[in-house]
Structure 1
Amino acid sequence: MALATLISRILGMVREIVYARFMGDGWVAGAFQLAFLVPNLFRRLLGEGALTAAFIPIFKEKEKNCWSI
C-alpha cells in the first residue's frame, strides 16, 4: 500500500510539471484550475469519506433519539 501511495505522489508531481510546462501562468491556467477544483472538491467530500465521517455521529444520535417516545 505504501508503494502505491508513493507511485501516486510521483505521478501527481509529474502531472503538475506537465501542467506547468504547457499551461504556464496565464488566464487559461486559472480557468483550468477552477474547472478542475469543483469536481475534485466533490470527490474529496463524498469519495474519500470526509462527509461520511462527519455524518455518522450525528446520524447515530438521531437514530438513538428516534426510538424514544
Structure 2
Amino acid sequence: MSQMLRSSGVIGLATFTSRLLGLVREQAYAHFMGDGPVASAFKLAFQVPNLFRRLLGEGALTAAFIPIFK
C-alpha cells in the first residue's frame, strides 16, 4: 500500500472519529442542558471564540498554502 493512500486513510479515520465525538458531545449537551436560556447562553459563549478560530486560524492557514500549490 502506498504511503499516500495510508496517510489518506489515517486522515479519513481521524476526521470520522472527530465527527463521531462531536455528535456524542452534542447529544450529551442536549441531554444535560436541554433548551433553556442557560443552554442558549452556553452555546453563544462557545460560538464567539470558535468564530475567531475559524476566521483567523483556519482561514489564514488556507490562504498561506493555496498560493504554494497553484
Asked whether the two chains share a fold, i.e. TM above 0.5, the reply is yes
Please give the root-mean-square deviation of Cα atoms over the aligned residues, in Å: 2.1
Over the matched positions of the two proteins, sequence identity in percent amounts to 70
CA-to-aligned-CA distance 1:19-61 (integer Å, 9 cap, x gap): 000000000000001100100101111121x2462xx98xxxx
Q: Secondary structure at the match of 1:7?
A: helix
1:21 aligns to 2:31 (yes or no):
yes
Task: Give 4+ residue runs of structure 1 displaced > 6 Å after superposition.
Answer: none
Structure 2, unpaired ranges of 5+: 1-10
Structure 2 residue corresponding to 1:39, chosen from 42, 49, 52: 49
1:25 is paired with a residue whose SS is: coil
Count of paired positions = 55
Gaps of 5+ in 1: 58-69
User: Among residues 20, 40, 57, which one is paired with 1:30 in the alignment?
Assistant: 40
Q: Within 2, Cα distance between the matches of 1:25 and 1:19?
A: 10
Q: Secondary structure at the match of 2:35?
A: coil
Q: For residues 46-65 of structure 1, what are the structure 2 equivalents within 5 Å?
A: 46-48=56-58, 50-51=59-60, 53=63
